[in-house]
Amino acid sequence: MNFRLLRLVIFPVLLTAPVFLHAQETTANEDERIEQLVRTEASEWYTPKNSVQVGFHILTSGARVRFGNLGSVAASSSIAPASLGGVVNRTYDNGYVNLDSPRSEELDANGGQTTQPGSHYYTYTVDADGNQIVATDRIAYTPGLTRNWSYSTADQTSAMPGYVAMNS
């Protein structure tokens, strides 16, 4: 066999050889060892957040695709625990409960509360005939409670009557 013929045979074989070689796959033990290594030496290693693996089997079942660590959905807010004082604005995925304070019509000139906590107070207007009529019936400010809250759907009130479910 001459050199030219040998080149014509070897060159296509070398080009197609990677197609017939099996891709290296890791075993469960090796994956566990790598994860442990990454955990112990996290400052020296970079772990990708997402991964995509594509494999081709020419003579058998075709392509194989595997996705891993497809990310995460971060919480929209963090809720402060009651142990940190408990009196904070709380924002949930489906509503909020915020701090309350006396309204301007509940305060005197010195800033003192004029309404009785836990009671109702009224604001008045005068009609065209000069008669005083009730414009609003409001709940007075009570320390430790709030009038400043909201929810998203009626389903939040039907699960347990008298309560509003908030989720985060």
Q: Report pTM.
A: 0.45
> What's the maximum distance between 2 C-alpha atoms anywhere in the chain?
121
40's torsion region: left (phi>0), alpha (psi -120 to 50) or beta?
A: alpha
- At residue 1, the pLDDT reads 54
21 and 53 share one domain: yes
Q: How many domains does the chain have?
A: 2
Domain around 153: 82-158
Q: Which residues of the chain have pLDDT under 70?
A: 1-3, 15, 17-28, 37-49, 57-61, 69-86
According to the model, what pLDDT value does residue 144 have? 82
Contacts of 14 (CB under 8 A, 6+ apart): none
Distances (CA, A) of 61 to 16, 20, 58: 19, 14, 7
Judge if 51 and 96 occupy the same domain. no
